[in-house]
């Protein structure tokens, strides 16, 4: 089949979709949401290049609908009924109270198949086993000691030399790319004790991060398409599925290369790089052995790739939006810098305002803009909405941060003060109101590690440098399961001489 036939096929599919959408939205309304507004939101989901923001439209829809919408018009297209919610009571019910009725489901596993069979895609007994294993490591005091040392070591020997180099030469650099490489090095060191040194003054290509981004975009596309349609794309080798195929190959190649180099180091007795005496969570030997549930080569690959994805993509996304937001609010940056000067960059527990500013970033720009669950049995949500089995319940995490019903009339403002009590402590907010790290039994096990990495990186940069974001830089999110900036974050770095 040549390119001309490919083009005709895609055009035919798009025309069919548009016609069907127009017919359905012209004849129906949805929970009082204006038909035009709902149509724009759905079209922006299907065609990300349209000049509409899917997440902003979603927030508007949910605000007008008191937090929950049955999207009946969308079910014919995806083959699954959809309920969209931002109601904290519903979030609590789905993620905790009736947790057993709302797994991620087999389709979710297919959507993120590049990550393999791990904690992120497992359900029920398999999930319980995987979570117990991962928790045994992440909660161990040696894990915290080792990761803390790795993070500070990589900041000092990796990030600072790059920032100094960029400052000296007045280079325009992509902060998002720097953060991705920094966290990627940390994730590899934490997982297997090997440092691939993606971060350096050479600004060399990082194929692994690019591959993960392509995989995330493909997963998002699969989520929006009918099951049969994205499988057709995969069979034809077109669109996002073509990029995913190449991404998968790259991920496997980089994984094999890092494992091989780690084994070479082990054979030569060179395991402890840069003063870091740590083998990694997945201790690799010449026989490719790993801990319990990852005893095979595939198991090792799946666990490491998933660990790196959870560590790198999400943390680098938050850091990028944090520096963008701080640059837009000089008074916030001044308060953070003043707090650091009164303490020091490594006393992270004392940096309350910095922590609050990161929470505010997570509220407005959560790395995972939506959470998705499938109802096994019929149920009635606290909001009174009745759902049938096989209904896809989508929790609009991004929209929740922009709901006046949850955060008040100033919900669109970047305001770290909302996170600080009169006593100068961080306000405790329910995870069901603020599910940036998910909530309930599946809450993120790496939350504390993520905050430590973000605070250490942010404190070091703000203490030592002024960040000048390129004027009129387009701050647009990618259409992806991770809230990356579509065009990166271009900036100049000016040393403060501290």
d(CA 101, CA 442): 13
| Strands 81-85 and 391-395, bridge-based pairing | parallel
Neighbour-count burial of 27, counting CB atoms closer than 10 A to its CB (0-12 exposed, 13-18 middle, 19+ buried): exposed
d(CA 239, CA 218): 9
SS3 label, residue 281: coil
SS3 label, residue 25: helix
Taking every pair of Cα atoms in the chain, the longest distance, rounded to a whole number of angstroms, is 71
Torsion sign (Cα): 75, 80, 81, 83: negative
d(CA 53, CA 225): 18
Q: b/e string for 211-221 if b means 16 or more Cβ within 10 A? A: bbbbbbbbbbb
Q: Is 444 annotated as a binding residue?
A: yes
Q: Are 438 and 444 in contact (CB under 8 A)?
A: yes
- State how far the alpha carbon of 117 is from the alpha carbons of 134, 400, 493, in Å: 14, 30, 41
Q: Who's near 315: CB < 8 A, 6+ residues apart? A: 179, 183, 367, 450, 453, 454
Structure tokens at 412: 């669109």
Cα 75 from chain centre: 26
Cα 243 from chain centre: 19
Cα 412 from chain centre: 21
Torsion sign (Cα): 66, 68, 72, 73: positive
Backbone angles phi, psi at 186, to 5 degrees: -60, -40
Neighbour-count burial of 332, counting CB atoms closer than 10 A to its CB (0-12 exposed, 13-18 middle, 19+ buried): buried
Where do runs of H (alpha helix) occur along 371-419? 397-400, 404-407
Q: Who's near 133: CB < 8 A, 6+ residues apart? A: 291, 292, 293
Backbone angles phi, psi at 71, to 5 degrees: -100, 80
Q: Token match 């389709």: residue?
A: 107
d(CA 122, CA 453): 27
Element holding 83 (H helix, E strand) = strand 81-85
Cα 298 from chain centre: 24
Residue ranges for the known binding site for heme are: 444
Residue ranges for the known binding site are: 444
């Amino acid at each position: 089949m040549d390119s001309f036939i490919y083009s005709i096929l895609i055009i035919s599919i798009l025309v069919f979709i548009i016609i069907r959408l127009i017919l359905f939205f012209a004849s129906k309304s949805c929970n009082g949401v204006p038909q035009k507004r709902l149509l724009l939101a759905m079209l922006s989901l299907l065609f990300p290049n349209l000049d509409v923001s899917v997440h902003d439209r979603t927030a508007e829809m949910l605000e007008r609908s008191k937090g929950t919408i049955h999207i009946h018009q969308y079910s014919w297209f995806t083959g699954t009924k959809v309920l969209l919610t931002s109601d904290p009571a519903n979030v609590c019910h789905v993620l905790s109270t009736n947790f057993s009725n709302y797994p991620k489901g087999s389709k979710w596993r297919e959507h993120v198949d590049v990550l393999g069979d791990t904690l992120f895609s497992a359900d029920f007994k398999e999930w319980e086993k995987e979570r117990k294993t991962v928790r045994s490591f992440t909660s161990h005091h040696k894990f915290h000691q080792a990761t803390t040392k790795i993070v500070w070591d990589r900041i000092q020997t990796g990030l600072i030399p790059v920032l100094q180099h960029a400052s000296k030469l007045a280079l325009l650099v992509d902060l998002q790319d720097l953060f991705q490489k920094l966290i990627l090095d940390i994730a590899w060191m934490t997982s297997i004790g090997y440092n691939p040194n993606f971060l350096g003054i050479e600004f060399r290509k990082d194929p692994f991060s690019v591959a993960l981004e392509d995989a995330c975009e493909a997963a998002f596309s699969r989520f929006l398409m009918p099951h049969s349609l994205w499988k057709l794309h995969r069979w034809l080798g077109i669109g996002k599925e073509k990029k995913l195929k190449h991404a998968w190959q790259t991920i496997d190649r980089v994984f094999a290369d890092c494992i091989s180099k780690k084994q070479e180091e082990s054979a030569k007795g060179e395991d402890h790089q840069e003063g870091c005496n740590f083998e990694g969570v997945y201790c690799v030997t010449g026989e490719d052995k790993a801990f319990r549930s990852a005893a095979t080569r595939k198991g090792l690959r799946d666990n490491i790739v998933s660990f790196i994805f959870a560590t790198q993509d999400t943390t680098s996304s938050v850091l990028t939006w944090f520096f963008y937001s701080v640059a837009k609010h000089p008074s916030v940056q001044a308060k953070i810098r003043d707090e650091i000067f009164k303490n020091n960059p490594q006393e992270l527990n004392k940096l309350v305002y910095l922590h609050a500013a990161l929470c505010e970033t997570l509220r407005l720009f959560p790395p995972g803009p939506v959470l998705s669950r499938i109802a096994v049995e019929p149920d009635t949500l606290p909001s009174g909405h009745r759902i049938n089995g096989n209904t896809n319940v989508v929790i609009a995490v991004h929209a929740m941060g922009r709901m006046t019903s949850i955060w008040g009339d100033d919900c669109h403002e970047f305001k770290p003060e909302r996170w600080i009590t009169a006593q100068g402590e961080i306000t405790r907010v329910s995870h069901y109101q603020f599910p940036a790290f998910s909530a309930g039994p599946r809450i993120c096990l790496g939350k504390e590690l993520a905050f430590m990495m973000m605070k250490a990186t942010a404190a070091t940069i703000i203490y030592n440098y002024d960040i000048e974001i390129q004027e009129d830089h387009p701050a647009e999110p990618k259409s992806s399961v991770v809230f990356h900036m579509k065009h990166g974050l271009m900036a100049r770095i000016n040393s403060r001489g501290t």
